[in-house]
Amino acid sequence: MIEMVPENRDQIRYSEENFGWTELKPNYRIDLRNPSNDDIDQFINANMVSDWSQLSWKDVGKPYEVKTVAKSKREWEKDHGDMSVKTSWEFFNRSFHDWFVKDVPGELTQSKQNLKKYFSRFQMSDVKKALGETVRLSLWNYAHRIEDGVWDPRGKRALFKGLDIDKPRILFMGAAEGYEAMQLHAMYPGGEVVMVDYDEFCKTDRFGLFPESYPFLGINRATNQPRVCHKDDMNIHYVVDDIRNLPFGKEFDIVLSVGLLEHFPDEYKHEVMDWHRKFLKPDGYAIMTTPRHQLKSRLFYMIMADVMNHTYRELMDIRQMGLYVYEGGFDILRHGFIKVHNGIVARPR
């Protein structure tokens, strides 16, 4: 039965009775297909490299740097000078969040109507703006809503599957809205999630307003059967601080980052890898993803530059990412690519 969320009558709260179901909401996809994860391996192509010690930078080359910068950042810098990394993230998070809460089909219809109107009146500079907005909305509609490439629950479940842990404590560094830690917590329940982001907006808005009705496919510990989990069922603590200030020891079973490593030039990559080791139990798992270097990702970051390009950013392939992780002192247990990211599960050597 589809149960209504009491505080918001138009939000449906999905349950186990909806297994097998997928549906497009105005701003994201619901995907309850394959709840037992049996056929999920097709979403990660693993084991391209058998011996990481044999790979060198000469073999794999360096990542591609995205150089187009968001207009809002360029304009801010005209008045204020160089934008700090933290302020850049604050710009990014506000801008990116706006896209997750859009009624995409509604805005696309409006944008196309504007385009027609401006065109019929020969208002060419407005035509150009409306055209840009229509292209961005169409791309977002395809990438996030239709393909579900940003959250990619099936790819993430394939990456996270089969870990040897019970009731894990999970640390999510640079958590933003916290999606992947919620997916992990649903799959490995009974423990605790600590999300960390130094931008308070991530706690209040990106995570705070993440839809409570969104169904994560996970497991019921008591019955070992698939179940549907929601944000408000979860044991989550959100810390607003710099990762560099965290007081924790080696106490987490999983240390997770999603889209973090590629924002640091090579001279800082070691520091980021150290963060993944510093808080991890010796037999814990470091799980990382970074955006893939592929033509469609280059096009995505070019077209979405004003929405997303506030910080240093690289696109890398799985061999380049793996080499950073291996050189950072980790053994790689699983590697491959999901829809738009590379994914690695590793353990400190």
Ligand X SMILES: C[S@@+](CC[C@H](N)C(=O)[O-])C[C@H]1O[C@@H](n2cnc3c(N)ncnc32)[C@H](O)[C@@H]1O
In order of 18, 43, 66, the CA distances from 209 in angstroms are 24, 28, 29
Identity at 339, one-letter amino acid code? K
Please pick, from the candidates 63, 149, 168, 174, the single residue that binds ligand X as defined by CB under 6 A.
174
Closer to ligand X at the Cβ: 44 or 115? 44
Say which residue the tokens 């020891």 belong to: 249
201, 94 Cβ separation under 8 angstroms: yes
Nearer Cβ to ligand X, position 202 or 344?
202
Contact 61, 298 (CB under 8 A): no
Options 89, 214, 252, 301; binder of ligand X; rule CB under 6 A: 89
Residue 46 CB burial class (10 angstroms; 0-12, 13-18, ≥19): middle
Q: Closest separation between CB of residue 82 and ligand X, Å?
A: 17
Minimal distance in Å, beta carbon 218 to ligand X? 19
Our measurement of the distance from residue 186's CA atom to the centroid of its chain's CA atoms, rounded to an integer in Å, reads 16
Q: Please state whether beta strands 341-348 and 280-291 pair in parallel, antiparallel, or not at all (unpaired).
A: antiparallel
Which of 202, 272, 305, 346 touches ligand X (CB under 6 A)? 202
Q: Is 243 in the site for ligand X (CB under 6 A)?
A: yes
Residues in Cβ contact with 101 at an 8 Å cutoff, skipping those fewer than 6 apart = 27, 209
| 176 sits near ligand X (criterion: CB under 6 A) | yes
The residue number with the shortest CB distance to ligand X is 174
Residue with smaller CB distance to ligand X, 107 or 197: 197
Residue among 21, 198, 210, 312 that touches ligand X (CB under 6 A): 198
Smallest gap from Cβ 187 to ligand X, in A, equals: 18
- The footprint of ligand X (CB under 6 A) covers 89, 93, 96, 174, 176, 196-199, 202, 242-244, 258-260
